[in-house]
Structures are given as structure tokens and as C-alpha cells.
Structure 1
Amino acid sequence: MTSRLFKVLVTHPEVPKQVLDTLKQKCEVIVCKNVPPLKSEVLEKIQGADAILWAHYQPLNGEILDAAGSQLKAVSTMSSGIDYVDIAEFKKRQMPLGHTPRAVNNSVADIAIGLMISAGRLFHEGRRMIETSQWETDRHDWLMGQEISDSTVGFFGFGGIGQVIARRLLSFDVKKIIYNTRTKKPNEADFNASHVAFDQLLSDSDFIIVASPLTPETKGIFNAEAFAKMKPNCVFVNVARGQIVDQHALYNALKKRQIFAAGLDVTTPEPLPSDDPLLSVPNCIILPHVGTSTAQTTIKMGNIAVQNILNALEGKPMVAPAY
């Protein structure tokens, strides 16, 4: 008598085919069909699942785990950040939870460097001036930007993504890399980086890159007081989570030219409404959270999530456990 295949629910239909094919070699795979995923469909199809590949950003909590049933053995997200997951609930149930942190490092680092350049050199403001016939040719100070070379770059958060960004920045001949984290990084010498207090990060940085997880401690930490401590030439870049920033305070800082410019790949909410005040300031470039949106990264994320699930179903440690 043959044993049954493990049943795995995949919550998004656009997980790459080659990722699903790997999973189908060992499991019965049920795929949700709606884009965006509907909670009602997830709750219906999740019943009896042995594992879940959570491939979207809606809340992952006790309600979902209860709907699956007591046979559920493992869950893996297909993301690096897991601020939408009720970690305490998973720990209480001793439910294995995986995520895909290292897979996103290169693509998010590329976006961060792109935002540093495009915000620092006022790409968006320049484009708007072309569109409104305000291209000026006689002023030497017109659209004067900020260079990365010989600058002090500050990181709020210096984990995997931050360190990949820092490695790329070494080739830009930056003057100094500083970072603020809860503890000093043992490998900071690899990047000629120095651990500093939060206030020093704000006051010393020509560029500030937010690459930190969203936690109760980091939520809203970049507020009006923080922006007031930054240099007037500071370029602020956020590739982490929108809620780390008080966007009204950021709007005011940009509108008053209290800081030089900002580049954002993440906002609150997402999607950002078309009438949001941040879209009205010329010195702010905003992307629609595309930091991980490359074919290579999506496949890497999917493969890690699948391996997390297969390992857990076989009684082995996940390759990327979330806790």
C-alpha cells in the first residue's frame, strides 16, 4: 500500500512554473487562482494541507493555521521580511516557519543604488521640468545634484541587504560607511564601516539607506525630529518597509528642502494613492515596491521556500528558518 503524497497549498498562481514543478515531484500541489489572492479562496483550499507556500503579503496568523487543520506541518513564506506574520502564534504552536532572506539581497541592492543615484541627481525633478517646458540652459546651478563618491553613507539596518549594498558602494569611492543597528557587526571591517548611535547616523550622513526590518522599535522612527537632524544635502532612501517612516514628516522635510531628496521603493499604504502628497514633491522618486521583482530573484525565492517545505515534511531543519 503506497503512502499518500503530502498536500501543499501555494497561495499565489504566479509562482514560477519551474518552482512548482520541483514541488510537484514530491507533493500534491494545490494552487490558488486569484490575483490578488482572496482570503476566502485560501481558507477554502487550505483545509487538509500538510504545508503552505505563502506567496503573498496578506496576514499569516492563527486563523490561517486553524483553517488548515491539525495535520499542518510547515509553512514557508516567499519573502524576506515577515512583518505580516504572527510570529508569536507560530512559536506558541511550535510550527516550523521558513522565509527567503538571502535570495533578495542582490535585486534589492540594485534598487537601492539606483534610488541613490536617481534621487541624488534629481532624475524625477529633471523629467518634470522637461515635461513642463522648464528646461533651463543658462544657469550653472540648475538641477545641481549630490555625488556618491567622497560621501558618508549611513545605513539604518546592516544585515544581508545592507551589506550587499555597502559592498557595491566600495567601488563608488565613498568616504565613509556608518551604520546603526542594535549591536555592532563582527564583520564591519570588511566594509570599512563603523557602528554609530542613531543621532550620529542622522547628523553625519550624506546618504541614509533604510534596510531594517519593521519592528515595534523601528516603526515610525524616521519622524519630524529625525529629519530635522539630517544634513540639508542628505538623500534619504528606503528599501525596507514604508511604516518605518512617518511619511507626512518626510513630505514636509522635502517640501521645505530641509533634506535634499528621497528615493522610496516602499510606502504606506501600498498601492500608494495617486493623490498622496509625496507624489507632488519634485525631489522625491517613488517606485511601486519592485525591489525583488526580477526573474532571477523570484525563482531563487521560490526554490528556497520549496526547500524549506520539503525539508520540514521530511523531518529536517529548514534551510532558512524564520526563528
Structure 2
Amino acid sequence: MKPIVYITRKLPEEAVAPLRDQFEVRMWESESEAVPRSVLLEEVADADALWTVVTDAVDRDLLTAAPKLKIVANMAVGYNNIDTVAAKERDIVVTNTPGVLTETTADLTFALLLATARRLGEAEQDLREGKWTSWTPMGYTGMDVGGATLGIIGMGRIGEAVARRARGFDMRVLYHNRSRKKEAEVQFGFEYAELDKLLQEADFVITLAPFTPETAGLIGARELALMKKTAVFINSSRGGIVDETALYEALKNGTIWAAGLDVFETEPVPVDHPLLSLPNVTALPHIGSASVKTRLAMMNLNVQAILDVFEGREPQNRVV
């Protein structure tokens, strides 16, 4: 009998076809709806490999229910949705999909910055709803991006790609990271700053740090209060890095000017989420890597990781 791969979302046939000769491929029937927990628990009982997306909770109970499981291939750079300690205890390989989504996510991050700064979402909604009745001198006025100071929290691959884009807008780039990127400082003129200094001086603050116990709630009421009243906050990393209650209060009370969010602490975000009620929030449904080319490349990495494990090779993107 062929080993079983269970895939938690419906994927294009071109992505899963390379597995079919060696594996029995089972796949959840919906692309947009998450597989129910009860179904997932049933499926992993027989699965030799599990192909997940970032919103699937692969916890200790799920791994315990999967006695044959050899690999969890996660279609994301982050893997905080997986209990890596439990996986390691059970000798289950965990892989992710870094590298291939860097440029696409940087594009989206900068697009979100521009859209938030220039109030594009608010303006488009008013246009579609017939609320634009005349041109006004101060109507839909936003913040200039060109020549402004950008602060990046988390200067990994995506952070550096965003910073390179900022150079085209003549922006001063400050960054805060666990380690200095001295080569980038020399080559591109990026400036390292302690977190408080970055928050105080930046006109635009972007969080691109990975979600870890150390970064959980990194941006809270104290940090938001350090920012300029005209500052724009952008999050396209993970929702849990930001205290969403504190962010709501800061936006509502004018502590900061606006926010652009591609991620939320709970996803999919409920439509009655307080942040979605604010006109100075531009919100997106976690689409940082959403280009056809990039998503297919991420899928290819998952396929290769599964094949590597079952063919006795070390997977390239192993995290556990």
C-alpha cells in the first residue's frame, strides 16, 4: 500500500500531481473553508504525511492521534501553528516554505503602506457607495511616503526587501533586529536603532518579526504611545505580535494616525472585530504571499519536502 498524504486544503492538480505515483493523496474538498477539526483528527489517524496551511492548529493532541506521521509540511514561513516540541518528541519532521515568498510579501507590504498612507480603502469604499459628491480641498488627504522615515522591526529577508523598496521613495530606513545587518547598513545606508528610538522617529513602522514567545505582544500600549501622532503602523508578519486591544485604543484616540493590517491574532478575523470598525484601518485577509507564481512555488517546496523524507534525504527547509 502507498503511504498516505493528507492535504488540509484543496490545491491545484498541478501542485499535487508529483506525489500521486508514490502516495495516496487525500485532500480536503474546499479551498476556502478550513477542514473541521473532527475530520482532521480522523484523517491524521491514517496519514504518513500531513500538508498544512498556516491557520491549521497542529497541536500535541493532533500529533498524538497520528501514529504513522513522519512529516508535517507547512505552507508558510512561520510555523507557530505547529507544536514543534511535540513533533520533535515523536520524531516528526516539520518543514516550512521560506525564500520563495520574500519579494511577493515585500511587494504587498509596501502596497499596504501606500494604501494606508493615502487612505485608498476608505476613498474607494466611499466612491462605490456614492458618498463622493464633490472634490474638496482636504478630502481624503493622507500622509506623504516619499522622503519619510521608515522603521522596520525584524530585518530578515522580507524586511530587507521592503527596505530596498523604500530606497526608491527616498526614505530614511531605520531597523531593529536581534542582530545587526552591517553589510546592509554599508551597502544601502540602513540605520540600526533600538526599538524605542525607532518608534519615536519613524513616520511608518512595519513589523516583520517572526512570532515567538519573545515577540508575542511586542507592540503594546507603551510602544504605541512612543510613536508620532502622525505615524502609520503596518503589520504583515503575525497578528500576535501586536496587542490588538491597545492598537484599537491608540487608533480610536488619535495616539497614532492609521494602521494597515494583513494579519490578525485570530484568523479568519470576525467581521465584528473592533479594528474593522475604524475608518483609519486598512485591512487585508492575510494575502502577503498571494501571487500565483509564489503560491505554486510554496506548494512545490512542500512536495519536495515530503518526497525527501520518504526517499531518505534531508529536507532543505527542515525546522524540526
Output the TM-score relative to the length of structure 2.
0.91
Q: CA deviation at 1:60?
A: 0.8
Distance in 2 of aligned mates of 1:21 and 1:196: 47
Distance in 2 of aligned mates of 1:192 and 1:280: 39
The residue identity in structure 2 corresponding to 1:251 is Y
* Equivalent residue, structure 1, for 2:43: 45
Distance in 2 of aligned mates of 1:126 and 1:315: 55
* Equivalent residue, structure 2, for 1:276: 273
Pairs within 5 Å for 1:151-190:
151-174=148-171, 176-189=172-185, 190=187
* Equivalent residue, structure 2, for 1:21: 17
Contact in 2 for aligned 1:136/1:142 (Cα 8 Å): no
Matched, 1:32 2:28: yes
Paired residue total: 316
Pairs within 5 Å for 1:1-323:
4-12=1-9, 14-33=10-29, 35-55=33-53, 57-69=55-67, 71-127=68-124, 129-130=126-127, 131=129, 133=131, 137-139=135-137, 141-174=138-171, 176-189=172-185, 190-323=187-320
Distance in 1 of aligned mates of 2:145 and 2:192: 20
Contact in 2 for aligned 1:128/1:282 (Cα 8 Å): no
Distance in 2 of aligned mates of 1:99 and 1:258: 37
Q: CA deviation at 1:184?
A: 1.4
The residue identity in structure 1 corresponding to 2:152 is F
**Compared with structure 1, are the counterparts of its residues 287 and 257 closer, same or farther at alpha carbon in structure 2 (3 Å cutoff)?**
same
The residue identity in structure 2 corresponding to 1:58 is D
Q: CA deviation at 1:186?
A: 4.7
Structure 1 stretches of at least 4 aligned residues deviating more than 6 Å after TM superposition: none
Q: CA deviation at 1:23?
A: 1.3
**Compared with structure 1, are the counterparts of its residues 303 and 95 closer, same or farther at alpha carbon in structure 2 (3 Å cutoff)?**
same
Runs of 5+ consecutive residues of structure 2 not aligned to the other structure: none
Q: Deviations over 1:16-66 (max 9, x none)?
A: 211110111332222233532122222222233322212352211232222
RMSD over aligned CA atoms reads 2.1
Q: CA deviation at 1:265?
A: 0.7
Distance in 1 of aligned mates of 2:179 and 2:265: 28
Q: CA deviation at 1:132?
A: 6.5
**Compared with structure 1, are the counterparts of its residues 28 and 134 closer, same or farther at alpha carbon in structure 2 (3 Å cutoff)?**
closer
**Compared with structure 1, are the counterparts of its residues 42 and 281 closer, same or farther at alpha carbon in structure 2 (3 Å cutoff)?**
closer
Contact in 2 for aligned 1:74/1:96 (Cα 8 Å): yes
Distance in 2 of aligned mates of 1:248 and 1:132: 32
**Compared with structure 1, are the counterparts of its residues 256 and 55 closer, same or farther at alpha carbon in structure 2 (3 Å cutoff)?**
closer
**Compared with structure 1, are the counterparts of its residues 248 and 66 closer, same or farther at alpha carbon in structure 2 (3 Å cutoff)?**
closer
